[in-house]
Structure 1
Amino acid sequence: MKFTTLLVFITFIVVLVSSPAQIESRVVVKSTKPPCNTIDLTGCWPEIFYKTKPSAQCCGTLKAQQPCYCDFIKNPALRKFATSPEAHVALRFCGIPFPTC
């Protein structure tokens, strides 16, 4: 009886070790692109209304959104803001080239 139990145990171990384990792998890609569904104008309101040189805060905000400019231009709800003369002036003051999409 002990021999049979030992044989079953060894068979179980061999089957367990020799069967390939299922490994789940995932690729996680972190996007550095901000969400492109709204234009953030934090720190830019005085410059837009009075058409003055943008502050460092405004330029930082605009530079952070630079990957989204083409999305803004393609979005009918945002196009008029993204392509306005004020947007061109603000981008030029901040040293950000206007995108060619």
Structure 2
Amino acid sequence: MKFSLVAVAVTLAVVLLVASESQRAEAVTCNPTELSPCLSAITSGSPPSDACCGKLREQKPCLCGYLKNPNLKPFVNSPNARKVANTCGVPYPQC
């Protein structure tokens, strides 16, 4: 009986540790300046760079927040921004 309780406790500890690590790995710091590699593509309609697409994928969880910001919404909601997202394979957010 003692062995099975120890095994359950160790298993539970490992599961909790793995779960906390995966949450940390998925955390994204929302910072619109991270999308600066996309600025020329959004403002001029030029094709997005690989760096732009990488940052856009990284910032994907933040896009709804950017759309809610009145200062950022015109850029994020522009036709060129939608084109950049489409070219990069990032679905436009449905907020």
TM-score by structure 2 length?
A: 0.64
Instruction: Please identify which structure carries the higher helix content.
Output: 2
Report whether the alignment pairs 1:68 with 2:62: yes
Q: Which moved more, 1:36-45 or 1:88-97?
A: 36-45
Q: Which moved more, 1:67-76 or 1:47-56?
A: 47-56
Number of residues of Structure 1 aligned to a counterpart in Structure 2: 75
Which segments of structure 1 move beyond 6 Å, counting only runs of 4 or more? none
One-letter amino acid of the counterpart of residue 70, structure 2: P
- Alignment equivalent of 2:89, drawn from 70, 75, 95: 95
Name the structure 2 match of 1:16.
none
CA separation of 1:61 and 1:96: change in aligned 2, threshold 3 A: same
Unaligned runs of 5+ in 2: 1-19
Across the aligned residues of Structure 1 and Structure 2, the Cα RMSD in angstroms comes to: 2.2
* Equivalent-residue separation in structure 1 for 2:81 and 2:72 (angstroms): 12
Q: Contact conserved, 1:73 with 1:83, CA < 8 A, in 2?
A: yes
Unaligned runs of 5+ in 1: 1-27
Over alpha carbons, which structure has the higher Rg?
1
- The percent identity for this pair of structures is 38
